[in-house]
Chains A and B, each alone.
Chain A
Amino acid sequence: MHLDGKIPGGPLPQKWERRKLDYALVSPANRRKYRVLVVGTGLAGASAAATLGELGYRVECVFFHDSPRRAHSIAAQGGINAAKNYQNDGDSVQRLFQDTIKGGDYRAREGNVYRLAEVSLRIIDQCVAQGVPFAREYGGKLANRSFGGAQVSRTFYARGQTGQQLLLGAYQALLRQVQAGTVRLSPRTEMLDLVVAHGKARGIVARDLVTGEIRTFVADAVVLATGGYGNAYFLSTYARNSNATAIWRAHRRGAYLANPCFTQIHPTCIPVSGEHQSKLTLMSESLRNDGRIWVPLRAGDKRSPEQIPEDERDYYLERRYPSYGNLTPRDVASRAAKAVCDEGRGVGPSGLGVYLDFADAIRRLGADVIAERYGNLFDMYAEITGEDPYRAPMRIYPAIHYTMGGLWVDYDLMSTIDGLFVIGEANFSDHGANRLGASALMQGLADGYFIVPLAVGSYLARAKPPAIDDAHPAFEDARNDTAARIERLLSVRGKRTAASFHRELGKLLWDTCGMSRNREGLERALTHIPELRDRFYRELLVPGRGETLNRELETAGRVADYFELGELICRDALHREESCGGHFREEYQTPDGEALRDDEHFAYVAAWQWREGEPPILHKEPLVFEAAPPMQRSYK
């Protein structure tokens, strides 16, 4: 199959305008005849469902949380970008576009990224109008701060709770539609399969997480907004329940999965403290604005930080990247931290940590100013580690944080299955091989508020999907498949928990396909994962029945999908013989240890097609760069 990104012609600034003109419209009276199913209520899903509801479609919203407001988006701390140029520091749509393309190491589509930069302006307007309490200056205007990978100040924030406040804005808009009767919510309901009939996405099969009942939802178009799959790695900054099942099931039904190995590692997380650990906590990147990152100059230096004099410290980011310093992008900062720890210069009990030091900033600005800027983050750190970051430097280490890969979509956010749209972190678009800070929230809301509602409408107007109900054989098949899968998990009756397998798989992925990868490790993972998966189906133990609230069953189903996805992640990493963004192949680096990209051979999106019982097929969507010609990504 030829992968057509369907990017409109013409110069970049006119592409989106043109596409909007091309879109077919559904008249207001006809909109209520169409049912649109939105799975997920994070920033992407809630904003899409609310907007589709406002337009008058009949919207059904399915999600596994107990309330739409609890989606993982709520955890985002740092902020959201927009090219408003309120600081008069030279920002513009063009510059945000360029920074994002460069940040993604030239592995994203120009057309999409330009549109994202354009739409960013309206996102802030929309959120402010909804009552999102963004930080303000004394003059009453919106405040901004700067973020890793950017030299302008374009990040809007609401204390350290930006994701929460943006989500509440979208959630409130969504509930307003619930009240108005245009949107119906199905909480605590987990999508377990996608239904494709006559080549079109027509609904889903889901499990009611309270009663265990298997339910079907019929629709004229399906929008997946189910978030990222970073939890495949077990330890990550994701909420515990984030998972890959929705996109993986859609993948198995024919949606291609693109760039699965592109994973963002966040440099500023609290290091692991022990075996029992269930997740990693992120410390917002904004800390890098004032905190200085260092390790001892000498390997094995076990002295406490205050005993190490200035000239025996290595401020390695400031040394290696003088123009960005502590604000280098995440992939660069993460790898640099790994490098110093590999040299034996890591700090803390495990040796896997570096200092993030505020002593200078406190001396310069006073503890009060620091408390005002980062107080809640400092409290959080103290709570988790039992140490006081006002007195001793924080210890941080990189962790899995975001997945740039996801289901392949065209410019209209439609997957390779007709009528299946994918938005937010669940799709692969816009970020390329690396996501900059504050750009995921922007993309989720751009997709949900401004892009998918129009694209879905145009699809419905043109495709005019025929009436269908859940007696159709495609629904019957999907229901049976789901029941069989659940039965299989329940009937193993071995003696190991799903979580123990998850931990083992996650460790393997982190070791072989984490911050850096090489052929030997990836090949090892590709033989180990199938073995581990076989053991899973022989030794798993899920107590209880399917027809009740059964958390172990939920976990087991998710872990089962991680095995298949994990294999694809490694396969993708193995085939990409270059280093770019979050993908660092040790064989491909410059003499001074920077990523070595190969634009001649790898300037494409890698989209994988599932085949049952056989290796997946790789399809390539070539990337063309006209407005932002690729250049060496240097932050020196």
Chain B
Amino acid sequence: MRIALEVWRQRSPEAPGQFVRYETTEASPDMSLLELLDVVNEGLVQKGEEPIAFDSDCREGICGTCGFMVNGLAHGPLQGAAACQVYLRNFRDGETLWIEPFRAKAFPLLKDLVINRSALDRIIAAGGYVTVNTGNAPEANTSTIHKDDAEQAMDAAACIACGACIAACPNASAALFTGAKITHLGKLPQGQPEQGRRALRMVRAAAAEGFGHCTFAGECETACPKSIPLQVITQMNHDYLAARLSGEGHVQPRHIEPGTPKRRR
């Protein structure tokens, strides 16, 4: 089959970018979209031209490395699939695909389709974990976890940090990503002690990175290759508000200068 690609080419963050057209004739329906890019790239290299830079690794939808917009849709036209899981049999013969990077202020472009998503790591570093040192754990079966809770935690934990939700969101909000981690840990007993603190810190970290606010546009849920549900955002908002109202994160000891006399009642 024949597929034409219009691919965003941009040498470096500073250089101007543009779409460049590539006609392919070697496409087969059993090929993945990324394999088609490989074929185009081999042709480019043989001509001594620089290949299209794009990220991918596992090529089975689990590592979250791949991701770009295809015809305006994050990860392409399939529901519940990452870009590497899109096969050409899902397109028409002769179709033109417009391929461009995920765009968001907090995702600086590096080259062509490659972006920097380290901001997501910094959101996790702010509190997306259970504080437990190695070797400190009790026997695993001492705590029981309701099967449904474990399943819901797993649903949320399936997030692969691809950033599609952010690219699809009109506000470039990281709410689905952040909410997914908050929900994953919040559903489990181990995650309870830090629940409020986690929500406060992660939400603030996301804002500090330049991600926008969630206005429930809902685009993220459609873009997400792991079908993370919008409820995780509700959970995040709930945890965040609860923490704010309970004063969590604000309890600081009063600073007292040496020699300060006792307060009179």
Contacts and interface: CB of A to CB of B under 8 A. Distances in A.
A395 to B, nearest CB: 13
Nearest to A496: B46
A615 interface: no
B95 interface: no
B87 A383 contact: yes
Nearest to A158: B154
Interface string A72-95: 101100000000101000000000
B38 A276 contact: yes
B129 A176 contact: yes
Contact of A175 (B29, B87, B121, B187): B121
Nearest to B81: A383
Given A66-B116, A125-B139, A274 B28 contact: yes
Contacts, number: 212
A26 to B, nearest CB: 16
A141 interface: yes
B185 interface: yes
B224 to A, nearest CB: 15
B110 A210 contact: yes
Contacts of B59: 239-240, 278-279, 281
Interface residues of A, number: 82
Contact of A140 (B57, B85, B117, B144): B144
Interface stretch (A128-136, A397-405, A480-488): A128-136
Nearest to A70: B63
B42 A500 contact: yes
Contacts of A67: 64, 117-118, 120-121, 161
A168 B191 CA distance: 14
Interface stretch (A104-112, A302-310, A505-513, A545-553): A545-553
B23 interface: no
Please report whether the interface of chain B is mostly helix, strand, loop or mixed according to DSSP: loop
Interface string B112-128: 00101110110011101
Contact of B137 (A129, A495, A497, A550): A129
Nearest to B29: A386
A401 B237 CA distance: 43
Given A129-B132, A549-B53, A499 B63 contact: no
A501 B175 CA distance: 45
B208 interface: no
A65 B87 contact: no
Contact of A133 (B49, B50, B184): B184
B50 A543 contact: yes
Contacts of B89: 386
Q: Which of A159, A171, A383, A550 has the most CB of B within 10 A?
A: A383
B204 interface: no
B119 to A, nearest CB: 10
Contact of A161 (B32, B111, B158): B158
Contacts of A185: 121
Interface size grouping (class) on chain B: 35 or more
A273 B30 contact: yes
B261 interface: no
Contacts of B116: 66
Interface stretch (B68-76, B145-153, B245-253): B145-153
B60 A124 contact: no
Nearest to B37: A278
Contact of A141 (B30, B62, B144): B144
Contacts of B39: 276
A541 B48 contact: yes
A84 B141 CA distance: 10
Interface string B149-178: 010011001101100000000000000000
A450 B134 CA distance: 8
A74 B62 contact: yes
Given A240-B56, A276-B26, A142 B147 contact: no
Contacts of A158: 154, 157
A541 B46 contact: yes
Nearest to A379: B80
Given A70-B63, A552-B45, A175 B117 contact: no
B57 A240 contact: yes
B1 to A, nearest CB: 13
25 contacts: A47-B134, A50-B134, A66-B118, A70-B65, A74-B62, A126-B137, A131-B184, A133-B150, A135-B150, A136-B144, A142-B141, A239-B59, A239-B63, A274-B28, A274-B31, A276-B38, A276-B39, A277-B35, A281-B60, A384-B85, A386-B29, A386-B30, A450-B135, A500-B42, A549-B114
Given A72-B57, A131-B184, A551-B51, 4 more contacts: A129-B138, A133-B150, A141-B144, A277-B35
